[in-house]
Structure 1
C-alpha cells in the first residue's frame, strides 16, 4: 500500500513538473492568479485523495466508490475556497485565466481517476 502511494506521488510530481513547465512556457498573458499555486494545489490534493482511497479500500472496500465521490466534492469545494478571489474577483475571466484553472483540474483529475479505477478494480 505504501509503495503504491509513493509511486503514485512520484508520478504526480513528474506530471506537475512537466505540465506546469509546458503551460508556463506557452502563456503570453499575465494571469490574475499564480499558475504554480493552482498546479501545486491539484498535485497535493490528488495525492491526498489517492492515499485516502488506499485507506478506505483497505478498510471498507464496499464503500470506496462513495468515498471517492465525497472526496471529489471536498477537493473542488476547497479549491473554490482557496482560489475564491482569483475566480470570483473579476467579472469576466480571460481565456488564459480559464485555461489556467481548467487545464490542471482535468490533467490531475484524469490521472487520479485512472489510478483510483485501477486500485478499485484490483480489490
Structure 2
C-alpha cells in the first residue's frame, strides 16, 4: 500500500512538473488567476483522492466505486469554493483562461482514474 502511494505520488509530481512547465511556457497573456495554484490544487486533490481510495478499498472493497464518485463531487465542489472569486465571478474569461482551467483538470483526472482503476482491479 505504501509503495503504491509513493509511486503514485512520484508520478503525479512528475506530471505536475512537466505539464506546468510546458503550459506556463506557452502562456502569452496575463490571466485572472494564477496557473500554478490551479495545478497545485489538482495535485493535492488527486493525491488525497488516491490515498482515500487506498484506505476504502482495503476496508470496504465493495463500496470503493461509490466512494470514488463521492470524492469526485467533493473535489469539484472544493475547487469551486476555492476559486470562485478569481474564476467564477469573472464573466469575461477568455478562451485561453478556459483552457487553462480545463487542461489540468483532465490531465490529473486521467492519471487519477488510471491509478484507481488499477487499484480496484488488483483487489
Shorter-normalised TM-score: what interval?
Answer: over 0.9
**Deviation of the 1:88 alpha carbon:** 1.8
CA distance in 2, matches of 1:69, 1:99: 24
Gaps of at least 5 residues in structure 1 are: none
TM-score computed with the length of structure 1 as normaliser: 0.98
Give runs of ≥4 in structure 1 deviating > 3 Å. none
Deviations 1:4-55 (A, max 9, x none): 0011001000000000000000000111000000000001100110000000
CA distance in 1, matches of 2:37, 2:55: 27
Q: Which residue of 2 aligns with 1:37?
A: 37
CA distance in 2, matches of 1:82, 1:122: 34
Q: Which residue of 2 aligns with 1:107?
A: 107
**What number of residue pairs does the alignment pair up?**
123
Q: Which residue of 1 aligns with 2:7?
A: 7
TM-score computed with the length of structure 2 as normaliser: 0.98
Q: Which residue of 2 aligns with 1:64?
A: 64
**Deviation of the 1:92 alpha carbon:** 2.0
Gaps of at least 5 residues in structure 2 are: none
